[in-house]
Structure 1
């Protein structure tokens, strides 16, 4: 693709986005504008870091070709609006570190024998050992960058003999992963259990694990999980839906649901984010945004609650969730997607 064509496409997209952003409500319905821009943002979020930087530069060059004034200023906001000027890899690593510290503070000083009802058969010590193993395993992967699968059980992660010492051991493993991930090139190739065999996969993977297991610990100790940041939870939900087709014990049951054409919509009331899941073809396809298809079932809750629903940490009957449409579709999905 020529530079001229790239510049033209970037300028056209920047102008279109700015026109949508600045349209009067009488010209363009605000809900429609949000739906259009949300879908565009999700597509752009899937670009790797190098392409995001390149598109950021193209948007800025297009803006600076305009004469000074309000239109140029609006064009200059396009990159920021889509987060193209952010280092998403480091932002995710920071989120992992923050939630790992929150996890360590939550479990430290509590009885490791405390049952974890959302992980039947596990206690708090088991949960902490597992999550520390995830962080240590991921640290090895982003550092050594193997081309083939490495099992956590094959690594010398050295958990202490006394479960009471697990929180400090976990904290050390989490710090090790965060440091290694910050130092690593997010574009570097490495084996991964999902769709993205690059280092950038692992902060998202570890963040999702940490969010869910933090909720497990909070539920075990207090009966409920504290709210999650909507954008952080949404990214973890994106990651789950992207990775699920590569997880055999999720993908295979979903492939046999016999609900081809059914549409499950997840709506986040705290951020307005929407996920549309269409079953069929031996699995499912998903996209951000409400799309044009009427959902078979729609579930509304905060983004963090939707994440925990898909991980079966909350039941669909919990009053946090508002369901319209075919309840059987949601039940079938949750039964097939059991982790």
Structure 2
């Protein structure tokens, strides 16, 4: 089964389950509803852990494609109702730990003064300090159960005096963060810079920060980034899209694009997954699908590349003119989008 087909089926199931859960007793007999849902839960409980985690990701992505409101809130409960969230949280923590180790291994023996071309004006030392600061900041938020925004500048860093010691400092901070995240209930209410105000938002948020900054370090040292796992890249793309309107400066830029009714399509060459962005109303919505389903509508502009390359394109680590990508349609729309969404 293709990833795009699985995503579509998961979204349909989430919508159906939510419709059942929110139906009035006069419309649907409660005993019948419970019987349906218990049967589905029993079927899903037999899935291997990896498949359960993947399904949770699809449910969550489907929910976050909806605007804020009661319907999205109910959709976000589907994974919890089926008992999928615990494994997913643990898996995200482990993925974050692995990514931090990869970053440390990449920069540990490198010259801290090496320029990072994808972060103009930064060196490897500053890149490492930045990522380590993100670890300390997220650990502080989750440990203190902060329900209001805390600036990273207000979090103690205990930064070493010499940049050569930064990788070890980052490793220790990442270990502390993962320990705190593993001990946290993912549903603990918490301020977040995105659409999910809970502790469970942070493992993935920091994971994708680490994925992009590992690519920065690899490009600085080798001229190119190593391939990103397609599933991780797809989650990263959707995390990015779901978060953009929660960042004040990107939300404002998107609101002023003046491209109402335009469609921007991203197609993953390696998996066939398609993301269609629909601009308008001072913002945008997006939908994940397959190449077959996307063929029914003609986009204003499209870009095709491997999943990991598309993730790095959206974060402006690769230029749109890079030969990794193929384009059709109004190229000015893609350029305007990348400029407006620069973080």
TM-score norm. by structure 1 comes to: 0.79
Check the 8 A contact 2:59/2:78 in 1, yes or no.
no
Q: What is the DSSP-based 3-state SS (H/G/I as helix, E as strand, rest coil) of the residue aligned with 1:200?
A: helix
Check the 8 A contact 1:44/1:52 in 2, yes or no.
no
Moved over 6 A (4+): 9-15, 38-41, 44-50
Deviation track 1:61-91 (CA, whole Å, cap 9, x = no partner) reads: xxxxxxxxxxxxxxxxxxxxxxx58721111
5 Å matches for 1:66-105? 84=84, 87-105=87-105
Check the 8 A contact 1:48/1:187 in 2, yes or no.
no
TM-score norm. by structure 2 comes to: 0.79
Q: Report how far residue 3 of structure 1 moved.
A: 4.5
Q: Match of 2:277?
A: 277
Q: What is the DSSP-based 3-state SS (H/G/I as helix, E as strand, rest coil) of the residue aligned with 1:265?
A: strand
Q: Report how far residue 151 of structure 1 moved.
A: 1.0
| Distance in 2, Cα, partners of 1:39 & 1:54 | 15
| Distance in 2, Cα, partners of 1:155 & 1:118 | 26
Number of residue pairs matched?
A: 290
Please tell me whether Structure 1 or Structure 2 has the larger radius of gyration of its CA atoms.
Answer: 1
1:5 and 2:24 matched: no
Distance 1:167 1:41, change over 3 A: closer
Choose between structure 1 and 2 for higher RCO, CA contacts under 8 A separated by at least 6 residues.
Answer: 2
| Distance in 2, Cα, partners of 1:303 & 1:324 | 18
| Distance in 2, Cα, partners of 1:311 & 1:165 | 28
Distance 1:3 1:157, change over 3 A: farther
Q: Report how far residue 235 of structure 1 moved.
A: 0.8
Check the 8 A contact 2:60/2:76 in 1, yes or no.
no
Worse-superposed segment, 289-298 or 154-163: 289-298
Q: Report how far residue 208 of structure 1 moved.
A: 1.1
Structure 1 stretches lacking a partner, 5+ long? 16-37, 57-83
Distance 1:10 1:253, change over 3 A: farther
Structure 2 stretches lacking a partner, 5+ long? 1-20, 22-29, 44-56, 65-71
Q: Report how far residue 55 of structure 1 moved.
A: 3.1
Q: Match of 2:9?
A: none
| Distance in 1, Cα, partners of 2:179 & 2:311 | 27
Worse-superposed segment, 142-151 or 212-221: 142-151
Distance 1:104 1:281, change over 3 A: same
Deviation track 1:177-208 (CA, whole Å, cap 9, x = no partner) reads: 11111111000001111111100111111011
Q: Report how far residue 6 of structure 1 moved.
A: 4.6
